Amino acid sequence: MVLNGIKLLRQMPQKVAQARLQNRLLIILAIVFFTVPLGAGAYPVTIMIDIGFYCVVTMGLIMIMGLGGQISLGHGAFFGCGAYISAVLTTSYGWSPWAALFFAALVTGAIAGLVGRFMFRLHGLILAGVTLALNLVFFYLVTSMVDITGGAIGFMNIPPITIGGIGSQDLLFNYYFIWIMAFLLLIFSLNLTDSRNGRALRALNTYAGGSEDAAQVLGVNVLRYKVWAFVLSAVYASLAGSAYAHYTRIIEPNTFMIQYSAMVALMAIIGGRSSPWGAFLGAGLIIGLRELLRESVPVLVGGLSGAYELIAYGIILALALLFMPQGLVSVVRRAASKRTKINET
């Protein structure tokens, strides 16, 4: 549990230490995240905004992949759903961006729930294939519904989200908007992970020592939990997608293709699927690396960095799977537990 003095924690020494560390980390990060951009230039703030969008979608993916142990390679579709629903409602129907953001999350969640009910009767690679197909279906739908979505050209002139006159034109507003969203969803995810529902999800995660049979005979409705986790992860992606549409004010279908889904899956694997913190680490590392390559490749070898980016992602993925299959978060966790043990002695 995060940021609360629940009685339970006092009875669980390890949990107390873990929660203290988590709370401290949250406060430090919040301070860093909310003060650093004040003195930074436009470029680093833009990169941080980009990381923020990826971070929210990855966090959602971690809820279904890391917690529930279900593969999804189609989260670009839900990110796109949020973006397009928000864009269409605000631009074509004059909705307020705020109302559109929440309505898009509701609709995307409902779509995920409907699809999930059928999809989660499947397992393993077949399930992964279906999620991939979901992303393709979204792409072809968006490109073919030209009258509504603008087709392959995309959707332009999307109004910005504003609070009291400050809006999407303001880089810092967007920075704070996405990172406040990320921190609120992080707290929500951490609370969920450590609750009855989080335990039920972890219990059926066969990739992390769980057992569906054991969970079922203890009363866990396995299908219902998988679907709910999927809905939740789709809602996260939709919220990020809506925010993205109102930030960039122009969207086009290629942004939400399989490459996007693969990127967030990569971030979840490298950051660590077992904790929502993994989203921060994964998105930070991959986008940081991408920017580093975009800066250095033209200088060092000339030309564009695209191919080198793919090679670098591949190498990092291979290294992560070889040396830290639980992701960067496991390294941080090990260091933190060592520190706790030292403090105890």
Partner 1 sequence: MKPKLVPPHRRRGKTIAGDYLLEVRGISKSFGRLSVLKGVDFSLARGNILVIIGPNGAGKSTLLKIISGLALPDTGEIYFAGELISNLAPYRIASRGITQLFQDIQLFLSMSVVENVMVGRHRHATTDFMSSGLSLKKARDDEQRVFEAALEKLALVGLEKAAFAAPASLSWGQQKLVGLARALASGAELLLLDEPYSGLVADEVTKLNQLIRALQSQGITIVIVEHLTDILMGIASQVIVFDHGEKIADGTPAEIQRDRRVIDAYLGGEQPGVREVDDQ
**Minimum distance from residue 1 beta carbon to partner 1 (Å):** 6
Helix axes 124-144, 97-119, angle to 10 degrees: 140
Does 232 participate in binding partner 1 (rule CB under 8 A)?
A: yes
Q: How far apart are CA 86 and CA 184, in angstroms?
A: 21
Residue 235 token pair: 């809602």
Q: How far apart are CA 81 and CA 142, in angstroms?
A: 9
How deeply is 124 buried, as exposed, middle or buried, from its count of CB atoms within 10 A (0-12, 13-18, 19+)? exposed
**Minimum distance from residue 233 beta carbon to partner 1 (Å):** 12
The position carrying tokens 């390559």 is 293
Nearer CB in complex with partner 1: 153/214: 214
* Among 214, 292, 304, 318, interactor with partner 1 by CB under 8 A: 214
Nearer CB in complex with partner 1: 4/35: 4
C-beta of residue 58 within 8 angstroms of C-beta of residue 271 = yes
Neighbours of 140 (CB within 10 A): 11
Does 209 participate in binding partner 1 (rule CB under 8 A)?
A: yes
* Among 25, 208, 250, 336, interactor with partner 1 by CB under 8 A: 208
* Among 11, 157, 343, 345, interactor with partner 1 by CB under 8 A: 11
The position carrying tokens 């142990």 is 69
**Minimum distance from residue 151 beta carbon to partner 1 (Å):** 36
Q: What number of CA atoms fall less than 13 Å from residue 97's CA on the CB side?
A: 20
Q: How far apart are CA 338 and CA 33, in angstroms?
A: 26
Residue 282 token pair: 């994964």
SS3 of residue 112 by DSSP? helix
* Among 220, 237, 265, 285, interactor with partner 1 by CB under 8 A: 220
Does 13 participate in binding partner 1 (rule CB under 8 A)?
A: yes
The region of 44-52, 100-108, 111-119, 212-220 touching partner 1 under the rule CB under 8 A is: 212-220
Q: How far apart are CA 66 and CA 50, in angstroms?
A: 23
* Among 215, 263, 270, 285, interactor with partner 1 by CB under 8 A: 215
The alpha carbon torsion through 254, 256, 260, 265 (nearest 10 deg) reads -160
Does 203 participate in binding partner 1 (rule CB under 8 A)?
A: yes
Does 197 participate in binding partner 1 (rule CB under 8 A)?
A: yes
What is the footprint of partner 1 within residues 153-192 (CB under 8 A)?
188-189, 191-192
Nearer CB in complex with partner 1: 16/258: 16
**Minimum distance from residue 7 beta carbon to partner 1 (Å):** 6
**Minimum distance from residue 2 beta carbon to partner 1 (Å):** 7
Catalog residues that contact partner 1 under the rule CB under 8 A.
1-4, 6-8, 11-15, 188-189, 191-192, 195-200, 202-203, 205, 208-211, 213-222, 228, 232, 274
